[in-house]
Structure 1
């Protein structure tokens, strides 16, 4: 499971765009195996009504996208042995279409059929004594991975088919972002123009905070067991997601194995990039691209980011300067988003 590290910061500055002090509603709770935090700003906000609408939206998202609920739409599809096209909801089709787009553009490093490799590598109820998978086991698992080959989406017809009975879908690297966007839409439908919705470190921020400024979000330093800020990013009308490999890994025989698995090799990533932050038009795409970019690593990821105009911030280990030394690189689009170009 990914560990995401965007931290919301409160910045105290002068200035306010409201004629009177705005209502500020803060909601928090648990969803999708993690926590959520919402800040909504406006006039005459009804906290109870907002809380009820948010909970209803999150329940709907989980009913379609949760891999932890055996009765969810994605779980029922994965458990089915049928290879015939089955009708799926427009929301499920929307997420799969977005996943297909990132899968294609990333050269397969984002893949929602990655489940067999995740299970093989033990992420996971893995025990320390469990052996590292053999080459033969990895090759066998790779045969059941590859969404372009194994899934057929007909978005117009609203159907999805699998190429083999045991093909499953894991939406953990995109459903959280979709859930954030769904909650954001709920707030917008309530007439709220200034808000931030965060689930498990991923977020979307719209308008301005209660001080009349852009939301300011901290990117965490990739240090296991610590919590400090690498940099602060002003975010307005964008989704933001961070993916890191420094909190979920195991070591065996002196080798460190990340929970981020490259679907093209079947193995955990071995490059030096340890954290990637993506700014995108919505949280769903930021969520998916953060996973894809971390799997690609700084060298290949930065090249793709420049070619595709993606706003990406890479943090990589500087092995020449000590265990806690890092190198940071920003794509041109990321610099543009920060106004630093």
Structure 2
């Protein structure tokens, strides 16, 4: 589950997806908040013409409800579920929004050599992190191999013609899971709605994806803190000024369960078919959109520390990594990330 702390003015907004976020303001601000996609969203507007805010809360709620209905794997009647349920290989027409997400996913999937794979759903479900229930015993290799045969971006094709956007699978039972990018997409979608209404000073967060524009109600920058990787406390490891960018963090330290005495992460490596076991515990990405950041962070988490570093440097990504060591944690940031950093806490022992 993504973990970010948003410093909005003097207070802190905690985005854990578990507890309802709370924020303290030292200046008036318009806010809207609620639940979506199994997590919480919050929209804070620093300043806007009064007419821009009329009916805006209802529009935001409706937009997020529509996004969830489009992308959910938990709703059997969602657009994505209809595609997954289709037991054929003919191209299926999809919406422009879904095409945007899948196009981003396929591009990042290639760049990460398959580490970010939106067809990994059968493995996610096998390990109990999807709509299916948690297994009562560890999946065996035969089950893993069977699920892996249903996974691979090479089985998915996105195309476009004068009639619209089309998605095709060459395996009838290919299963697409867009949960790794849904929060980022929804965050950007709400931001576009705000700008259409003439709002240009805002902070939008859906789950662990955040995007900002302008400055806060006090005229100071919106600041976001990357959480220290622990499930026992909420402490900032580093604080950044997004400068109008999007940010997303993928971490292996909150969403897990224990089975047969072993802690299993929700992040599945498509190459092995198993939850990741390396020492990288948190990957944060800052990008021009929240969707872009949300796509890269998962792929980097799957790759592990060294491969994530190499990819970040090769692609010029703004990346911040936290790795578990025998003595605690170490941190690393790419040159592009340093431009956003306001402060960084000392590395702490576990």
**Normalised by the size of structure 2, how large is the TM-score?**
0.88
| CA displacement at 1:67 relative to structure 2 | 1.8
Residues 209-218 or 153-162, more deviating: 153-162
Equivalent in the alignment of 1:4: 2
Q: What residue is the counterpart of 1:184 in the other structure?
A: 191
Structure 2 SS opposite 1:170:
coil
Q: Deviations over 1:39-93 (max 9, x none)?
A: 0122433544210221222122123212222222111111111210111111111
Q: Does 1:336 align with 2:342?
A: no
Unpaired runs of 5+ in structure 2? 12-25, 344-350
Question: Is 1:174–2:181 an aligned residue pair?
Answer: yes
Give CA deviations for 1:262-292 in whole Å, capped at 9, x if unaligned. Answer: 1122111111011111101101111111111
TM-score (norm 1): 0.90
Q: Distance in 2 between matches of 1:255 and 1:87?
A: 42
Counterparts of 2:276 and 2:169 in 1: how far apart (Å)? 27
Q: Secondary structure at the match of 1:203?
A: strand
What's 1:79 paired with? 85
Q: Distance in 2 between matches of 1:143 and 1:314?
A: 31
Residue of structure 2 in register with 1:141 after alignment: 147
Aligned residue number for residue 94 of structure 1: 100
Deviations 1:272-326 (A, max 9, x none): 011111101101111111111111111100100000011111011112x1xxx11
Please state how far the C-alpha of 1:201 moved relative to its aligned partner: 2.0
In structure 1, distance between residues paired with 2:58 and 2:258: 44
1 CA distance for matches of 2:167 and 2:175?
12
| Pairs within 5 Å for 1:1-341 | 3-12=1-10, 24-46=29-51, 47-124=53-130, 126-127=133-134, 130-147=136-153, 149-156=154-161, 157-319=164-326, 321=327, 325-338=328-341
How far apart are the structure 2 equivalents of 1:143 and 1:119? 14
Q: Is the 8 A contact 1:64 1:73 kept in 2?
A: yes
Partner of 1:17: none
Aligned-pair Cα RMSD in Å: 2.0
Deviation at 1:253, TM superposition (A): 4.4
Give the match's secondary structure for 2:50: coil
Output the CA distance in 2 between the equivalents of 1:239 and 1:198: 10
Aligned length: 325
The question of whether the paired residues in 1 share the 8 Å contact of 2:202 and 2:214 is answered with yes
Cα drift, residue 177 of structure 1: 0.6
Q: C-alpha displacement at 1:188, in angstroms?
A: 0.4
Asked if the contact 2:224–2:241 (Cα under 8 Å) also holds between the matched residues in 1, the reply is yes
Deviations 1:228-272 (A, max 9, x none): 111111112111001111112233444332111111221111110
